[in-house]
Amino acid sequence: MQIAVPKEIKNHEYRVALTPSGARELVGRGHTVTVQAGAGEGAGFPDAAYEAAGARLEADVTSVWREAELILKVKEPQPEEVARLSKGQTLFTYLHLAAEEPLTRGLMESGATCIAYETITAPQGGLPLLAPMSTVAGRMAVQAGAHSLEKAQGGAGVLLPGVPGVAPARVTVIGGGVVGENAARMALGLGAEVTVLDKSIPRLETLDDRYQGRMKTVFSTADALEEAVRESDLIIGAVLVPGAAAPKLITRAMLAEMKPGSVLVDVAIDQGGCFETSRPTTHAEPTYLVDGVVHYCVANMPGAVARTSTQALTNATLPFVTALADKGWKQALADDRHFAAGLNVHEGQVTYRAVADAFGLDCVEAATLIG
């Protein structure tokens, strides 16, 4: 199969959809891999590494797209990329269509088959192609929070682990899912005193079991949140209510109860944020102050560690890419109903219920297309 890897063009996106090792695997299976010149540079993969892996390099973006049967990307296609897609091509990338009507309609008009990373499911539950980025963001949240606690960043001047004779900082993580567990684990590793709040008792049980009481688990109530606000040096927002905007769990009025120079890291900012005073920021200027509290609200945290993120993402996508390349989209999805959950648009029709419902469009179930 002819596989193309264009360079990402979204602002400040440095990841790439395939590493040189991934290219080598595909070439070894008899496929042709064309990589747009410079596509891997931002993630630390030079053109020469792709060439050494047996991929073709192509400088002309039009040729990269035109000749491909399967196009691998990271971010949702930008308008000029949508215009390059055509019927018979398969696009495999993050799409997040339920929040993007113009993109949904553009992909329908293209006639292409569009499979979204984020709606693929796993037999054991969860979203296997979303989890790697949540893992990265959760781990980064503590790094970002620790840095923000430094005086020069507007923080209280507190070192997370403390030192002998000085108590460690108190870190509260709200939401103990993939982001939350990874954040809590990092904070524990750095020697902080860690509390995780969640609404799900099974989730709290899992964390309690896994960490043998080394982190406190607390059922998330208004009381628990008020206590967290009063006591914490660093609060990490990591809640997710599937299909809904994040609930505003800390209001502006509550900031008055926080210690001056304490830090809020709102990882859920990509779903609107879980603190009332959160607004999206970028890596160029990640933080701002409200009422003496430092806010870190970067919406694409994994972008800052493009190399690790690329490797984590492509480790997770490669088995699916291989199946698409070896069998074609129809057979690959027919063989794996969890993979089939990734099909969002095919030849002008929406094939994912939540996307169709979001825009009042008809939905053709993926199962009826693949038999």
Ligand X SMILES: NC(=O)c1ccc[n+]([C@@H]2O[C@H](COP(=O)([O-])OP(=O)(O)OC[C@H]3O[C@@H](n4cnc5c(N)ncnc54)[C@H](O)[C@@H]3O)[C@@H](O)[C@H]2O)c1
What is the DSSP code string of 15-50? --S--HHHHHHHHHTT-EEEEETTTTGGGT--HHHH
Nearest distance, CB of residue 310 and ligand X, angstroms: 15
Distance (Å, whole) CA 190 – CA 236: 15
Q: Out of 47, 270, 295, 346, which one is annotated catalytic?
A: 270
Q: Report whether 298 belongs to an annotated binding site.
A: yes
Q: Report whether 134 belongs to an annotated binding site.
A: yes
Q: Report whether 269 belongs to an annotated binding site.
A: yes
Which residue's CB is nearer to ligand X, number 197 or number 332? 197
Q: Report whether 270 belongs to an annotated binding site.
A: yes
Q: Report whether 178 belongs to an annotated binding site.
A: no
Residues 6+ apart with CB under 8 A from 350: 104, 108, 344, 356, 359, 361, 362, 363, 364
193-198 β-sheet, strand order: 216-219, 193-198, 170-174, 234-237, 263-266, 293-296, 287-290
Binding region for ligand X (CB under 6 A): 133-134, 137, 174-180, 197-200, 203, 220, 238-241, 246-247, 249, 267-271, 299-302
Around Cβ 153, how many Cβ atoms within 10 Å?
A: 18
Q: Out of 96, 147, 208, 326, which one is annotated catalytic?
A: 96
Nearest distance, CB of residue 234 and ligand X, angstroms: 16
Distance (Å, whole) CA 303 – CA 42: 10
**Cβ distance 248 to 264 under 8 Å?**
no
Which residue's CB is nearer to ligand X, number 84 or number 295? 295
Token representation of residue 70: 């399967």
Nearest distance, CB of residue 207 and ligand X, angstroms: 9
Residues 6+ apart with CB under 8 A from 249: 174, 220, 225, 237, 239, 274, 275
Around Cβ 125, how many Cβ atoms within 10 Å?
A: 7
Closest CB to ligand X: residue number: 177
Q: Report whether 198 belongs to an annotated binding site.
A: yes
Around Cβ 67, how many Cβ atoms within 10 Å?
A: 14
Nearest distance, CB of residue 309 and ligand X, angstroms: 10
Distance (Å, whole) CA 322 – CA 303: 25
Which residue's CB is nearer to ligand X, number 134 or number 311? 134
Compute φ and ψ for 48, nearest 5 degrees.
-60, -35
Nearest distance, CB of residue 261 and ligand X, angstroms: 23
Which residue's CB is nearer to ligand X, number 42 or number 302? 302
Which residue's CB is nearer to ligand X, number 239 or number 321? 239
Distance (Å, whole) CA 70 – CA 73: 10
**Cβ distance 179 to 163 under 8 Å?**
no
Active site residue 270: yes
Nearest distance, CB of residue 268 and ligand X, angstroms: 4
Q: Report whether 184 belongs to an annotated binding site.
A: no
Which residue's CB is nearer to ligand X, number 305 or number 332? 305
Annotated binding site: 15, 75, 134, 198, 203, 220, 239-240, 267-270, 279, 298-301
Annotated binding site for NAD(+): 134, 198, 203, 220, 239-240, 267-270, 279, 298-301
Annotated binding site for substrate: 15, 75
**Which amino acids are annotated catalytic?**
96, 270
